[in-house]
Amino acid sequence: MEADSNARDQVYTGVDTWIEDFDNHRRIHTSLGGRSPIEYELHQAAWTTTA
């Protein structure tokens, strides 16, 4: 029973890490104008330096 709980915890941790470290940085977000977070940051940086 304990092994099942540990395996489940490892899966949850792995999925959470993947979402936070990989998927959220490249997935398009409607709140960012249809850009990924990295595209949004690059756009904001370019806009700020030209303003």
Say if CB 38 and CB 25 are below 8 A apart.
yes
pLDDT classification of 51: cutoffs 50, 70, 90: low
Say if CB 40 and CB 33 are below 8 A apart.
yes
pLDDT of residue 1: 65
pLDDT of residue 31: 84
pLDDT of residue 10: 93
Model confidence over 35-50: pLDDT tens digits? Answer: 888 888 899 898 887 7
What's the predicted TM-score (pTM) here? 0.44
Q: What is the mean pLDDT of residues 18-32?
A: 75
Say if CB 29 and CB 37 are below 8 A apart.
yes
Going from N- to C-terminal start, the domains of the chain cover 2-50
Residue reference for tokens 């104008």: 33
